[in-house]
């Protein structure tokens, strides 16, 4: 499957948007007139996509059909984006290191474990024990190595918090967000709140307090210092 066809579609859409902007400025007699917010965002996105190197890949028709189905379901923006995301995940999760002895993600061996099994394990621990276990695990977190060695950043830096949380989200911890005030919200968390609090305190070198939520499927944690 050639990706150059998608490049030509992007070029065509770019030309249409630029023509639309030119006409808008001419009609309004204003060289500073801008496209609508959505059109401008799309034009910026296309320009970023066109900066990337175009390559061609060959794959079976069944894989192409599967990719196209996912694009129709809006699981991906395009064939090119789906393929790029697949390669990125392949590298992020070091799939090339997987073998019959186990699944290895960077320096850690990973296993697929049911949420029920994890819950059973943590149910035998008190909240205080869960917190202490989190502190220990956070102090030995492979995420810290990834942030330092791969991204060249310090995980305890404020500017690195978004990166750290995104990596945890990619590793299945749940859907994670953080606002400018340092409030971390985790939807559908895999681990219990005390463990997560201890883990993040140790990893980010901060103090965190739990925030009560109305929905038990959410964990909210506030960084206090």
Any domain includes 145: yes
Higher-scoring residue by pLDDT: 5, 67: 67
Any domain includes 69: no
Any domain includes 196: yes
Any domain includes 82: no
Average pLDDT for 192-219: 93
Starting from the edge strand earliest in sequence, which strands make up the sheet with 175-178, in order? 175-178, 183-187, 218-223, 208-211
Total domain count for the chain? 2
Q: How far apart are the first and last CA of the chain?
A: 52
Tell me phi and psi for residue 157, to 5 degrees: -70, 145
Taking CA atoms, 20 is separated from 32, 39, 62, 137, 177, in Å, by: 13, 10, 38, 55, 37
Query: What digits encode the pLDDT tens for the residues 28-87?
Result: 888 888 888 888 888 888 888 777 776 777 889 998 899 999 888 988 888 888 888 888
Any domain includes 151: yes
Close Cβ partners of 181 (under 8 Å, ≥ 6 residues apart): 222
The 3-state secondary structure of 89-120 reads HHHHCCHHHCECCEEEECCEEECCCCHHHHHH
pLDDT at 4: 63
Percent of the chain with pLDDT over 70: 93
pLDDT band for 113, please (50, 70, 90 cuts): confident
Q: Which of 36, 58, 80 is the last residue of a domain?
A: 58
- Identify the bridge partners of residue 218 per DSSP, sorted by sequence position: 187
Any domain includes 136: yes
Q: Which of 58, 74, 89 is the last residue of a domain?
A: 58
- Identify the bridge partners of residue 104 per DSSP, sorted by sequence position: 109
Residue for token pair 């009560």: 212
pTM over 0.85? The answer is: no
Any domain includes 190: yes
pLDDT band for 1, please (50, 70, 90 cuts): very low
Domain interval for residue 159: 126-223
């Amino acid at each position: 499957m050639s990706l150059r066809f998608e490049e030509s579609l992007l070029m065509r859409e770019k030309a249409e948007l630029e023509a639309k902007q030119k006409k808008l400025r001419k009609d309004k007699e204003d060289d500073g007139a801008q496209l609508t917010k959505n059109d401008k965002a799309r034009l910026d996105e296309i320009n970023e996509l066109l900066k990337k190197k175009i390559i061609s890949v060959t794959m079976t028709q069944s894989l192409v059909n599967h990719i196209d189905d996912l694009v129709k379901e809006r699981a991906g923006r395009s064939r090119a984006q789906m393929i790029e995301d697949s390669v990125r995940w392949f590298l992020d999760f070091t799939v090339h290191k997987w073998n019959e002895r186990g699944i290895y993600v960077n320096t850690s061996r990973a296993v697929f474990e049911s949420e029920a099994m994890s819950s059973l394990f943590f149910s035998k621990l008190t909240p205080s024990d869960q917190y202490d276990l989190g502190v220990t695990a956070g102090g030995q977190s492979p995420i810290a190595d990834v942030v330092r060695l791969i991204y060249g950043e310090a995980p305890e830096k404020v500017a690195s918090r978004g990166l750290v949380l995104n990596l945890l989200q990619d590793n299945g911890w749940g859907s994670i967000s953080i606002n400018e005030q340092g409030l971390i919200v985790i939807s559908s968390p895999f681990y219990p709140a005390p463990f997560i609090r201890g883990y993040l305190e140790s990893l980010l070198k901060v103090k965190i307090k739990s925030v009560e939520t109305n929905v038990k499927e959410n964990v909210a944690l506030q960084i206090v210092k």
